[in-house]
């Protein structure tokens, strides 16, 4: 639901102490470090010089033929490509803050708001690319979850006696499609399911990040990211294994911030909801323009487009839902 009349204001009309306005005791803002976008971190990233970008993907493989005898005729073959189209769409938000509130605050409010907005953009981008939530219509590629399940690349947790084997089975599915898993996106808390699991030779299959780097690490030697920005849907999946070179993220305009003291905010009917000049306020505007697409080039192992995907899903784990 669209909103045009929210912002950062004094709590409860000034009837109770506000968290950011200094009181006799020292003010302190306690919050988690905002989390970035998994897609922007793991996918292949291209810089877009225009609002659209075309990436050729192999669609028809050449064929070699045996030649019969010394004078046999050599046959012709072909190789074809098709375009994967990236279309940049805009993510944006406005945050109005009264100037008096800025003056009275005991902390640098804009410094607190900025990383939260970056996190909000990362969440919206990941939701669209991972699970298709509010995915723009111009992004014609399926989200990773839909692409994986549509190709039948799913494993039910508990299919084996070892979750490490379940994960390995995802890699087998990608290999049978002609791709190679090179990274994982997982539900918050999933890493704890991997503690203690070892290979047949007794080698740990999971190496966690150092404490100061947060959750995640290496699984079977490949990068594992817990999606902590709120974009993960644990009712659908606990892990997505992917050949991340087949996920393409285009950046037309990186995240930018501008400040406005004489702007207005109107709703979708044109009605003015907020007037920064008249109401002595400042509006922060954040804008990001990006695109998302996936490629699933034809492979020698699986030439059937309907059953081929460079992504695989491990189903929900009840403890993570």
Domain definitions of the chain by residue range: 88-320
- Residue from 256, 251, 249, 252 nearest 287 by CA: 256
In terms of pLDDT, which residue wins out, 279 or 9? 279
Given a cut of 80, whether residue 162 has pLDDT beyond it is: no
Task: Look at strands 222-226 and 183-186 and give their pairing.
Answer: parallel
In terms of pLDDT, which residue wins out, 27 or 250? 250
Given a cut of 50, whether residue 26 has pLDDT beyond it is: no
- Residue from 29, 318, 36 nearest 158 by CA: 318
Residue 29: the pLDDT is 43
Interatomic CA distance for residues 37 and 35, integer angstroms: 7
**The CA-based dihedral angle spanning residues 220, 226, 227, 232, taken in that order and rounded to the nearest 10 degrees:** 80
Q: Provide mean pLDDT across the span 120-137.
A: 96
Residue 108: the pLDDT is 85
Residues ≥6 apart with Cβ < 8 Å to 285? 92, 93, 94, 257, 258, 259, 260, 263
Interatomic CA distance for residues 96 and 103, integer angstroms: 14
Given a cut of 90, whether residue 147 has pLDDT beyond it is: yes
- The pTM (predicted TM-score) of the whole model is 0.84
Q: Provide mean pLDDT across the span 106-119.
A: 86
Interatomic CA distance for residues 46 and 293, integer angstroms: 11
Rg, C-alpha atoms of the chain? 25
Q: Do residues 126 and 120 lie in contact, with contact meaning Cβ atoms separated by under 8 Å?
A: no
Residue 175: the pLDDT is 96
Q: Do residues 46 and 251 lie in contact, with contact meaning Cβ atoms separated by under 8 Å?
A: yes
pLDDT digits (tens, 9 = 90+) for 183-205: 999 999 998 888 777 766 667 77
**The CA-based dihedral angle spanning residues 241, 247, 249, 250, taken in that order and rounded to the nearest 10 degrees:** 180
Interatomic CA distance for residues 65 and 168, integer angstroms: 36
Interatomic CA distance for residues 125 and 227, integer angstroms: 12
Q: Do residues 144 and 302 lie in contact, with contact meaning Cβ atoms separated by under 8 Å?
A: no
Q: Which long-range contacts (CB under 8 A, 24 or more apart) does 156-165 make?
A: 156/315, 157/238, 157/314, 157/315, 157/316, 157/317, 162/197, 163/193, 163/194, 163/197, 164/194, 164/197, 164/198, 164/199, 164/205, 164/206
What stretch of H or E contains 290?
strand 281-294
Given a cut of 80, whether residue 288 has pLDDT beyond it is: yes
Low-confidence winner among 23-37, 214-228, 229-243 (lowest mean pLDDT): 23-37
Q: Provide mean pLDDT across the span 165-181.
A: 93
């Amino acid at each position: 639901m669209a909103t045009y009349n929210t912002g950062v204001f004094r709590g409860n009309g000034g009837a109770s102490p506000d968290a950011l306005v200094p009181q006799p005791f020292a003010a302190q803002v306690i919050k988690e470090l905002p989390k970035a976008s998994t897609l922007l971190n793991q996918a292949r990233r291209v810089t877009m010089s225009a609002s659209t970008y075309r990436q050729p993907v192999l669609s028809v493989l050449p064929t070699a033929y045996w030649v019969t005898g010394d004078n046999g005729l050599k046959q012709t073959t072909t190789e074809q490509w098709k375009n994967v189209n990236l279309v940049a769409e805009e993510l944006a938000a406005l945050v109005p803050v009264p100037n008096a509130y800025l003056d009275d605050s005991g902390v640098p409010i804009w410094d607190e708001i900025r990383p939260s907005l970056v996190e909000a953009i990362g969440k919206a981008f990941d939701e669209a690319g991972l699970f298709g939530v509010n995915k723009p219509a111009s992004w014609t590629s399926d989200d990773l979850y839909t692409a994986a399940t549509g190709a039948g690349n799913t494993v039910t947790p508990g299919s084996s006696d070892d979750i490490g084997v379940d994960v390995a089975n995802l890699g087998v599915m990608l290999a049978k499609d002609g791709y190679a898993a090179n990274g994982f996106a997982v539900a918050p808390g999933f890493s704890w399911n991997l503690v203690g699991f070892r290979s047949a030779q007794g080698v740990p299959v999971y190496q966690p990040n150092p404490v100061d780097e947060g959750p995640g690490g290496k699984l079977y030697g490949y990068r594992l990211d817990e999606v902590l920005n709120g974009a993960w849907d644990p009712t659908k999946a606990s892990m997505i294994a992917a050949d991340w070179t087949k996920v393409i993220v285009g950046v037309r305009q990186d995240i930018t911030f501008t400040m406005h003291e004489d702007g207005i905010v109107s709703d979708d009917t044109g009605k003015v909801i907020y007037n920064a000049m008249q109401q002595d306020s400042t509006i922060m505007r954040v804008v990001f323009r990006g695109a998302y697409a996936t490629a699933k080039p034809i492979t020698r192992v699986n030439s059937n487009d309907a059953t081929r995907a460079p992504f695989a899903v491990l189903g929900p784990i009840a403890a993570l839902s």
